[in-house]
A and B are shown apart, each in its own frame.
Chain A
Amino acid sequence: EIVLTQSPGTLSLSPGERATLSCRASQSVSSNHLAWYQQKPGQAPRLLIFAASSRATGTPDRFSGSGSETDFTLTISRLEPEDFAVYYCQQYGRSPSITFGQGTRLEIK
């Protein structure tokens, strides 16, 4: 099983700042099958990024993904108030067995 470790656990920033979230895999993620989800309190997760760097339909272009093999990054260029949430990475390269990271909480400073 591929274990995903996200850092930091909590990130405190202000609107307008840049956010950088990290996801590290215990083994290489095949074909860059790495996704990012956003989850707000009381809601289901929402798919933001797939294939490491492709934005899902409706994802604002201030969100970008990068990385390969075992190291991946989600960047939010300029934080909007609605971006404060929990973010999870997910690998689906070893489909059908899918795993998620433990999440990064992005909070308002």
Chain B
Amino acid sequence: QVQLQQWGAGLLKPSETLSLTCAVYGGSLDLYYWSWIRQPPGKRLEWIGQINHSGSTNYNPSLKSRVTISVDTSKNQFSLNLSSVTAADTAVYYCARVVGGGLQKHWGQGTLVTVSS
């Protein structure tokens, strides 16, 4: 059974860059896309983007200018960078494995990222 474990800084100042990493255990990065989703407090889930093992990416148009998702197949990990953060980027961030063309089947535990001066 695949498991995803994520980590990264939980407190940022405005204008800093958010960096999170998700490690995949019990499965290879091959054959699937891997995504990042976030959930601001009390708000709906928001899809950030996805990547496959060869580095092919798709991003949410509303975040595209600030987002970079990368993959490290040697470590079986993928990462999220979100630049120039503001308070509006405060959210729980999740990594997930994508199946069936867009379903988030397996999820990481979530990381609360707070942006505050």
Contact = CB atoms under 8 A, between A and B. Distances in A.
Contact of B107 (A44, A88, A90): A44
A96 interface: yes
A91 B107 CA distance: 18
B84 interface: no
Interface stretch (B12-20, B39-47, B75-83): B39-47
Interface string B55-81: 000101100000000000000000000
Contacts, number: 55
A47 interface: yes
Nearest to B96: A44
B114 interface: no
Interface stretch (A10-18, A63-71, A77-85, A99-107): A99-107
Nearest to B110: A44
Contacts of A35: 102-103
Contact of B102 (A45, A46, A98): A98
B44 A103 contact: yes
Given A47-B104, A88-B44, A97 B61 contact: yes
Nearest to B94: A44
A98 B47 contact: yes
B107 A96 contact: no
Contacts of B108: 44
